[in-house]
Amino acid sequence: MKTGRRTATVVTFVGALGLSVLNAPAAQAADTGITVSGIVINNGKPIVVGTSKVVEPPLRFNIALPSGYSTANPFRYEAEPFLYRGSISTAAKTGENYIGPGGYTCYETDAKHARCEGNLYIDPDRTQDHVDSNSDATTWKVGVTLRLFKADGGLKTEERETRSTTVQFRRAAKLTTNASPEPVTKGKPITVTGKLTRANWSTKKYGTYSGRTVGLQFRAKGTDTFKTIKKATTSSTGGLKTTVTASVDGYYRWVYNGNTTTGATTSTADYIDVR
């Protein structure tokens, strides 16, 4: 996986505004003394990506600065959490198997500490190549790039740290539902069909997803809760088909709970008038 987007990260401090440009010149790796803690990505949930829509998972973390540096001067340092696969050094230096932040804002808590929040930036479009293989639907590691700058703006030192935290990437899925006939006589059969597809990151299209167990849910008119009433398995073309007995007016929908490589999805409900 290669990335085609590695842009400047805008960092806004409450009480001190600054722009942080990532593509700084190389410097000798050394301990910066910056501490980044409490990294949380997408609220701890898997990141689900489709074939065209940009996904911006929320990101938050905390910063503690070393001696000689203050949150009042954000031009003097950078702290950049990111996601990677494989070698952390290769990912950060080349952009391969790398997902970086789209932007974040840091709020000073005192002269040495700040809490930051923003988002990562993932564009599945083929021109960006952020996810260009279905093998990217796996576990990604979390890393942090840290930099200190001299008073004249030159890079003083930088380092990269890997973290034990991981994030799961999943391919988005879609479901359709159609219940018929409409209307239907009470006591007669209702045929409920549908189709399950999921994102193919190689082709940038949605393809059929076979052999998956999907639940059929029903909500009676005038009630608020859907209940699972049957289960079915998708065919070789991703198709779903089952029958139920008409009893009362209500809504039918298919629900797929997802797995380690594919996100959960729920179809739009289809209303049936029982007479």
pLDDT score of 94: 83
CB 150 within 8 A of CB 36: no
pLDDT score of 29: 58
Residues facing residue 56 across a β-bridge: none
pLDDT score of 72: 92
Using 50 as the pLDDT threshold, list the residues of the chain that sit under it.
Answer: 1-28
Tokens 């608020």, located at residue: 224
pLDDT score of 275: 96
Helix (H) or strand (E) run with residue 177 in it: strand 173-180
- Tally of CB atoms within 10 A around 200: 16
Same fold, 9-170 and 173-272: yes
Helices H / strands E in the chain, number of each = 1, 20
CATH of range 9-170; options 2.60.40, 1.10.8, 1.10.3470, 1.20.120? 2.60.40
CA 107 – CA 109 distance, rounded (Å)? 6
Its sign, for the CA torsion 70, 71, 75, 78, is: positive
Distance of CA 130 to CAs 5, 49, 55, 56, 201, Å? 8, 10, 11, 12, 10
List the domain boundaries for the chain. Answer: 9-170, 173-272
Q: Render pLDDT for 222-253 as a digit per residue (tens, 0 to 9).
A: 999 999 999 999 999 999 999 999 999 999 99
CATH architecture, domain defined by 173-272: Sandwich (2.60)
- The backbone torsions φ and ψ at residue 79, rounded to the nearest 5 degrees and listed phi first, read -140, 115
CA 208 – CA 156 distance, rounded (Å)? 52
